[in-house]
Amino acid sequence: MIVLEFRQVSKKFKQVVIAQEMNLQIRDGSFSVIFGAPGTGKSTLLRLITGLDQPDKGEIYLRGENMAKVSAADRNIGYVPQSFALYPHYSVFDNIAYPLQLMGVRRVDYTSVVEQVAQQLQITHLLQKKPDQCSGGEKQRVAIARGIVKNTKIFILDDPLTGLDFKLRERLFDDLRQMREDLGATFIYTTSDPLETLILAEDIHVLDGGQIIETGPTPQLYWQPKHVRTMQLLGFPNTNVLPGQVENGHCVVGNLRFPLEMNGNSAHAGESRVAVRPQHLQINPSSGSGFLTAPAEITLVEDLGGDLHVYLALNQTPLEALIPNTSIDLLTEGSATIGIHPRHMRVYDAASGQYIGQGRA
Amino acid sequence: MATEIRMEKLRCAFGSTVAVDDISMTFPAESVTCLLGPSGCGKTTLMRMLAGLQDPSSGEIYFGNQRVTDLTPSERNIGMVFQYPVVYRGTTLFQNVELPLKRDKSVSKTERQRRVESILESLNLKHLANEDVAALDNATRQKAAVARAVARQPQIILFDEPITNVDVNAKVQLKQALKELVKQHSQTIIYVTHDQTEAMTLADEIALMEKGKIVQRGIPGELYNNPNSRFGGWFLGNPGMNFVEHPLTTHDGGLALGAPLFRQLIRLPALQGLNSVMVGIRPERVVLGEETPQSVSGQVLRSALVIGGQYLVSVKIGAVVVKAKIARETPFEAGAIIPVNCPLPDVKLFSPSGERLDVTLT
């Protein structure tokens, strides 16, 4: 079932196109991430959903109902803002209770609700404290508690983990997924962080250039992206995208040439983009294993513990590779050979960004 | 000449809060030591004391044989690079780098020119030499600040999270530049960061800090593979080590450990006074889906895509949850029952209070 729908929604914000006849569908009970680079208008999009802003054109349906004439106060959506945005002079209890106070709920009626939410988020011991007496992670929980205190099944989380240190984020990833399951609610979550998106999302909606360019379950969008921008944006380290040329069922990238397994139109020809995930770029591969090879320069090796993140230059083009940190030979800056297996090259049309096919051995 | 930094019972307290707690240690000359730890661990206070920006509550600091505890920052002959680039606006990039050298009367004008040019060259800044620093972006200004600190050739350079506030692409450039500089110059470098990747990438040695103390010091790989405490295992790694408490049982007249992570009992040498141990294993060392004599059954809770298309799989074994990071193209389905294997050479044992136990499992 669809709990939220955008139909041909257009919106400009300060002359910048945020949405251009955008269509979007959010499944009921899903953890849906709207993923886009910084500055693509994710927060504005959320304001359209909460009713704090109106679309220039098009319609928004919430729980099957057209929202055109429904005010923000009547939409019944939980909201967790980007920065904590807690009231410093209120106790944690009153911060959490605030949305209920606004709705005119009496203290005797909301006390147990606040306590229940606090218990769920394991912040009962903080209720009488002021926000300043809480750690960063605790503040985040208070902000989330305030967002979920309303009796609603739809929550909007506007990049809520941004700026937190990564050990804390690590813990909150688990918490957020669990929280959504426990509440049986729909989470509509925005971020520009690809790893956060992959870890949290059940459904991903990729926002780029005022459009949702691709939508689908997480593994599908990661492994079989239909749009080159999805492949480029959704993943860490960065996907390598190189210019290529498709002709006679083959693709040519620099000095490399490989046959293509076409997706549909086998006569397709012209300029293309060839995308390769960093884990599929081998460094000094063993010969005779079907790899296409080229000489490159290693410019930096980052030690991530379990993996090595390797930055390379192929002629002048920067490339990134991720290899397991188990190689006995120490990898250092200097010249190297890179190898790519043709089946790991996904080829896209340069003009439309649409998927054409992938290499075969 | 570069020189070592020696601290003797160095302590700094703010009221009842002890920021740096009796540290006695030597940071070796001509090498990069990264002070790594979470916010509030005392790393910045320690660095500020080395710089002379913060008076210790007690203890001594020596640069080589020279006692510097009471010296002002300018008397210590150190270079410093801060989180936010400090540049002199209204001057060119060249002048920015040259300025501290001008104050040093022992450096001739030709030598000065040569040094500035060489450092700008190695930081890839030569083409910007005559630009006003005010017109440069944040990352380039930070490079200028680095160049200025290095050009003076002080015996010691202190870096305080120098790349925290530059954007992602510039970070890589700055890291490359720093690595290159370190290679070319043989100064003693102390580098403060909360970012483990930065520390693991740039450091000769990492000094891991927790609650005002240096809890472990060693080369990056050693810290990662052989943490001497539960804290180290947790802090390094993304995610950190799994820790699972195991009761010790008596077996064949000795101590042994088994469930939940091991099917067969593993004999242990005598561990005095312990009823249980904490088993630690890194997520990337846990093996899933391969039946072995030692594997146990686990139920997949969920698989999440993480770095480089690997799956971070949460598996429930009895009452505990273990995370495994594995490279494969299809996830394990939630609910599936699969064998979970923790290879013994990758298992580290810790006491219930979190210290590493010197025990090899066979």
- Per DSSP, the residues of B170-221 read HHHHHHHHHHHHHHH---EEEEEES-HHHHHHH-SEEEEEETTEEEEEE-HH
Same domain? For A120 and A142 the reply is yes
Alpha-carbon torsion, ordered A215, A216, A221, A225, to 10 deg: -60
Is A150 domain-assigned?
Answer: yes
> Higher-confidence residue: B220 or A138?
B220
Same domain? For A196 and A329 the reply is no
Q: What digits encode the pLDDT tens for the residues B90-131? A: 899 999 999 888 888 888 999 999 999 998 988 889 999 999
CA distance A305 to chain B (A): 6
Q: What digits encode the pLDDT tens for the residues A221-272? A: 999 999 999 999 999 999 999 999 999 999 999 889 999 998 877 678 899 9
Q: Which residues of A touch B329 (CB under 8 A)?
A: 223
Domain boundary among A156, A191, A224: A224
Determine the pLDDT at residue A83.
65
Range with lowest mean pLDDT among A80-89, A216-225, A336-345: A80-89
Q: Which residues of B touch A198 (CB under 8 A)?
A: 304-306
Determine the pLDDT at residue A91.
95
Chain A residue nearest residue B236, CA to CA: A305
Is A277 domain-assigned?
Answer: yes
Cβ distance B327 to A279 less than 8 Å, yes or no, reads yes
CA distance A195 to chain B (A): 6
Minimal Cβ distance to B308: which of A177, A237, A303: A237
Same domain? For A210 and A68 the reply is yes
> Higher-confidence residue: B158 or B274?
B158
> Predicted confidence band at B357 (pLDDT cuts at 50, 70, 90)?
very high
Same domain? For A79 and A142 the reply is yes
Minimal Cβ distance to A222: which of B237, B240, B305: B305
Determine the pLDDT at residue A330.
63
Same domain? For A80 and A141 the reply is yes
Structural domain harbouring A306:
237-359
Same domain? For A181 and A47 the reply is yes
Q: Is the pLDDT of residue B328 over 70?
A: yes
Q: What digits encode the pLDDT tens for the residues B249-299? A: 888 888 889 999 999 999 888 777 888 999 999 999 999 999 999 999 999
Same domain? For A67 and A144 the reply is yes
Cβ distance B175 to A303 less than 8 Å, yes or no, reads no
CA distance A110 to chain B (A): 34
| Residue A245, both tokens | 């040329």
Q: Is the pLDDT of residue A328 over 60?
A: no
Tell whether B90 lies on the interface with A, counting CB pairs under 8 A: no
| Residue A238, both tokens | 């960065």
Phi, psi of A165 (to 5 degrees): -70, 155
Same domain? For A163 and A309 the reply is no
Q: Which residues of B touch A358 (CB under 8 A)?
A: none
Q: Which residue, chain included where needed, has tokens 């692409």?
A: B169
What is the DSSP secondary structure assignment for residue A307, as one 8-state letter?
Answer: E
Q: Which residues of A touch B242 (CB under 8 A)?
A: none
Is A230 domain-assigned?
Answer: no
Same domain? For A278 and A160 the reply is no
Q: What is the CATH number of the domain that holds A145?
A: 3.40.50.300
Alpha-carbon torsion, ordered B64, B70, B72, B74, to 10 deg: -20
Domain boundary among A224, A252, A272: A224
Same domain? For A215 and A285 the reply is no
Q: Is the pLDDT of residue A78 over 60?
A: yes
State which amino acid sits at residue A134: C
Determine the pLDDT at residue A39.
86
Cβ distance A322 to B307 less than 8 Å, yes or no, reads yes
> Predicted confidence band at A327 (pLDDT cuts at 50, 70, 90)?
low
CA distance A38 to chain B (A): 12
Provide the β-strand partners of residue A214: A206
Q: What is the mean pLDDT of residues B230-234?
A: 96
Minimal Cβ distance to A299: which of B176, B239, B327: B176
Mean model confidence pLDDT for chain A: 91
Mutant choice from A162, A173, A200, A303 vs B, greatest count of B C-beta within 10 A: A303
Q: Which residue, chain included where needed, has tokens 């002002």?
A: B72
Q: Is the pLDDT of residue A150 over 60?
A: yes
Degrees, nearest 5: CA angle A29-A32-A36: 170
Q: Is residue A65 packed enough to be buried (19+ CB in 10 Å), middle (13-18) or exposed (0-12)?
A: exposed
Q: Which residues of A touch B306 (CB under 8 A)?
A: 195, 198-199
CB A218 within 8 A of CB B305: yes
Is A231 domain-assigned?
Answer: no
Q: What digits encode the pLDDT tens for the residues A294-307? A: 999 999 999 998 89
Q: What is the mean pLDDT of residues B220-245?
A: 95
> Predicted confidence band at B59 (pLDDT cuts at 50, 70, 90)?
very high
Question: Which 236-255 residues of chain B touch chain A by CB within 8 A?
Answer: 236-240
Which residue, B238, B273, B237, B271, is CA-closest to B256?
B271
3-state secondary structure of B37: coil
> Predicted confidence band at B168 (pLDDT cuts at 50, 70, 90)?
confident
Burial letters A323-351, b for 16+ CB under 10 A, else e: bebeeeeebebeebebbbbbebbbbbbbe
Is A220 domain-assigned?
Answer: yes
Tell whether B226 lies on the interface with A, counting CB pairs under 8 A: no
Q: What is the CATH number of the domain that holds A324?
A: 2.40.50.140
Same domain? For A274 and A201 the reply is no
State which amino acid sits at residue A245: Q
CA distance A311 to chain B (A): 9
Percent of chain A with pLDDT over 70: 98
Is A105 domain-assigned?
Answer: yes
Is A232 domain-assigned?
Answer: no
Cα–Cα distance between A47 and A53 in angstroms, integer? 5
Minimal Cβ distance to B304: which of A198, A235, A278: A198
Same domain? For A215 and A273 the reply is no
Give this prediction's pTM. Answer: 0.89
Q: Is residue A20 packed enough to be buried (19+ CB in 10 Å), middle (13-18) or exposed (0-12)?
A: middle
Q: Is the pLDDT of residue A25 over 90?
A: yes
Domain boundary among A191, A224, A257: A224
Degrees, nearest 5: CA angle A238-A243-A246: 125
Tell whether B179 lies on the interface with A, counting CB pairs under 8 A: yes
Tell whether B235 lies on the interface with A, counting CB pairs under 8 A: yes
Which residue, B81, B43, B53, B50, is CA-closest to B68?
B50
Determine the pLDDT at residue A82.
75
How many domains is chain A partitioned into structurally? 2
> Predicted confidence band at A329 (pLDDT cuts at 50, 70, 90)?
low
Q: Which residue, chain included where needed, has tokens 């580098």?
A: B191
Cβ distance B235 to A167 less than 8 Å, yes or no, reads yes
Is A229 domain-assigned?
Answer: no
| Residue A298, both tokens | 């290693």
> Predicted confidence band at A84 (pLDDT cuts at 50, 70, 90)?
low
